[in-house]
Structure 1
């Protein structure tokens, strides 16, 4: 099959979990020997993945421009994947118009309306926010996101908790959703034997793209409330803070005397994770699955996180590592992991087992390809069961189309002889 992926940004697997998740999806398509083109209206980043090396074509596209229509008619994709609902809003009507028989696939990365609602709750309370009132959840953001899900033939959801939220709260049919978590190769027994042991590791680590609001909030919470409690009990301890795109307000938190060391970009995130003894992920809000925790599992680095961080990570099973929602409890768990070799080893072992069971690349890649192939064979019947989606495409996509055409006409250079 011929796949077009419309990216919100160019995938940066070294910068964010969203980047390496996108790369895994692209590799899934290529593994099936499908043709893949990645297109984005975003500026090409120097940190982007080398897609041509994977046999993936790259192209820039423009917003609100009919040049995309010409590109689409020439490419004639069988599958069009939208990277987050904003891309479906921008380009979905054009895909339906020019490639009506193409499968419209949406990848949400996380249920962003849930993340935004939890952010509002956390701002108000200063605490970990898992449950949110419907008055906050039923936002304009949610209406846009859920509408894009309903307009699509299939939506990839990274967390089973968010599938339940869509089913129970927003009444989305399960036929429109696929559980598609992070996909990584298993950690072999031989690789595990090569990893540093407890007494070879030093320091605490926190890692995450600074442009992602939950990560920046986590660093602030550590600095202000959690790290002083740990440092008081372990005066020589160091916290190494890594993350892509650190702003000046982050680098200004660096304080060697307090052992709070803002390192910024990591050349090799897996390597710095393997050298650390304990990973800290004090997330007060967020959604989806947490790439930093998946990475820690694969590196044999036990983590302490909150209920928000642990949510959905183990699927239907129990998250096997410490969870705490208050600074005092969080610090106690961090200290126990850092100072108790047997406790640390048990958490590391259970982490490897969870990683290999839950995030196996081949299993989830095969499930994705199988689902798309089934859709291809039964697309007309599948769409007939989704009247709400058809209704939304008829009404809301027309307004998007007319707005885009108005913007294009407005931006068109005026005839100098007129």
Structure 2
């Protein structure tokens, strides 16, 4: 069974300059085209002015309508060999239609990160903040023990929905080894359904070697899509508790906060007199990172691996982050900067890296080692393609093994199908005659 046609069902149109998820999507699409596979990228999302130029890769764009039979006509005509679902809710929306009209297609889910894990950690953070009312929070990074996270995840239906989608697909792409271990060890997901691969658009190592030196850089930087809840929480954490302490020790320090889609509440934090600058959209995030001396990423919850921190290493910019920020990114290697889960330690690290040339250069070297060991694009690309082709070759055998997935497709997709058809009929009835 070969692959010649690919259908990529995107939750949004890929924006590599807006998010790590957009960069990851573009890496996959480029890799598919390098195999001379025909690719169609389809989405129900509105066309974005910041989206990548897919036509440059000879990729056709298809605008979809949710809960509409027009998708059935399209997929019957196209007949893809591989369908990639961008996040589990896209699989919920279109999985039943793919199975009905194109059952032979290999179904691959790109989780981007484990949404149910991120939400569980957010919930744990809120609980911790609630119990610390009246005191200054010391970052309060939620627990990372598998057992604690498992219990929290099981409290909400997001985990049931997300893991059901994983079972219904032939292969799920996981960006974090931590998440693979959690799914395998606690949720008992079979190994053959999971593929850990951290492929994303990270600049080549030469970018760090040619980047400005310590004396040519200045200021702190923070960057991240404002629509992503962990990023917004990190900005608030910087503004409310971290930056005032850094500024007290470095009176002339400046922090520049970049990110796509800044809401008015974010721009309202812009306080130049305090050295806190909310810049919003960055035309070239790598140029911004290279011009900065230290990257600050006080991530108190989240999942997956953090594109901003991989970019920082590639641009030769040491970072201060939390254990959640650095999760699954460096293995046993020392971090390219400092990992700090306590407020005082975080502030101390930021001040130290901004002033100490030797420690700054050591962090930069550690970043190079992490990229070479854990983010080798050639190795990641090869392993990814091998996993896809192996899943295709073993498709029938794996589906026969995966009774849980077959059962979930029978029951869950029927309910999804009927709900979609009910919405479609309701929308048709609401149209003026």
The aligned residue for residue 396 of structure 1 is 412
The aligned residue for residue 106 of structure 1 is 109
**1:413 Cα offset (Å):** 4.7
**1:416 Cα offset (Å):** 8.3
User: 1:130 & 1:346 partners in 2: Cα distance?
Assistant: 29
The structure 1 residue matched to 2:10, chosen from 7, 11, 25, is: 7
Contact between 2:203 and 2:315, CA under 8 Å: does it hold in 1?
A: no
Contact between 1:187 and 1:352, CA under 8 Å: does it hold in 2?
A: no
The aligned residue for residue 118 of structure 2 is 115
Any unmatched runs of 5+ in structure 2? 130-139
User: 1:76 & 1:99 partners in 2: Cα distance?
Assistant: 6
The aligned residue for residue 170 of structure 1 is 187
- 1:94 paired to 2:107: no
Offset from partner CA, 1:179-232 (integer Å, 9 cap, x none): 11133466345x444210001100000000000000010011111111111111
User: 1:387 & 1:179 partners in 2: Cα distance?
Assistant: 23
Contact between 2:208 and 2:314, CA under 8 Å: does it hold in 1?
A: no
User: 2:76 & 2:383 partners in 1: Cα distance?
Assistant: 29
The aligned residue for residue 156 of structure 1 is 173
Any unmatched runs of 5+ in structure 1? none
User: 1:13 & 1:95 partners in 2: Cα distance?
Assistant: 27
The structure 2 residue matched to 1:141, chosen from 158, 168, 172, is: 158
3-state SS of the aligned residue for 1:14?
A: coil
Contact between 1:280 and 1:305, CA under 8 Å: does it hold in 2?
A: yes
Contact between 1:187 and 1:356, CA under 8 Å: does it hold in 2?
A: no
| Residues 230-269 of structure 1 mapped to structure 2, 5 A cutoff | 230-269=246-285
The structure 2 residue matched to 1:128, chosen from 123, 135, 141, is: 141
| Residues 1-400 of structure 1 mapped to structure 2, 5 A cutoff | 1-126=4-129, 127-131=140-144, 132-138=148-154, 139-184=156-201, 187-189=204-206, 191-315=207-331, 317-400=333-416
TM-score (norm 1): 0.96
Offset from partner CA, 1:112-144 (integer Å, 9 cap, x none): 100001001111213111334544211200000
User: 2:35 & 2:410 partners in 1: Cα distance?
Assistant: 33
User: 1:254 & 1:415 partners in 2: Cα distance?
Assistant: 46
**1:321 Cα offset (Å):** 2.7
User: 2:401 & 2:235 partners in 1: Cα distance?
Assistant: 46
CA RMSD of aligned residues (A): 1.5
TM-score (norm 2): 0.93
- C-alpha spacing 1:185/1:356, structure 2 compared with 1 (3 Å): farther
Q: Size of the alignment, in residue pairs?
A: 416
Contact between 2:8 and 2:85, CA under 8 Å: does it hold in 1?
A: yes
User: 2:378 & 2:239 partners in 1: Cα distance?
Assistant: 39
- C-alpha spacing 1:348/1:76, structure 2 compared with 1 (3 Å): same
3-state SS of the aligned residue for 1:81?
A: strand
3-state SS of the aligned residue for 2:295?
A: strand
Contact between 1:300 and 1:348, CA under 8 Å: does it hold in 2?
A: yes
User: 2:285 & 2:253 partners in 1: Cα distance?
Assistant: 20
Contact between 1:3 and 1:77, CA under 8 Å: does it hold in 2?
A: yes
User: 1:259 & 1:306 partners in 2: Cα distance?
Assistant: 23
- C-alpha spacing 1:381/1:296, structure 2 compared with 1 (3 Å): same
User: 1:416 & 1:23 partners in 2: Cα distance?
Assistant: 41
User: 2:204 & 2:173 partners in 1: Cα distance?
Assistant: 25
**1:320 Cα offset (Å):** 4.1
Contact between 2:125 and 2:141, CA under 8 Å: does it hold in 1?
A: yes
User: 2:242 & 2:394 partners in 1: Cα distance?
Assistant: 53
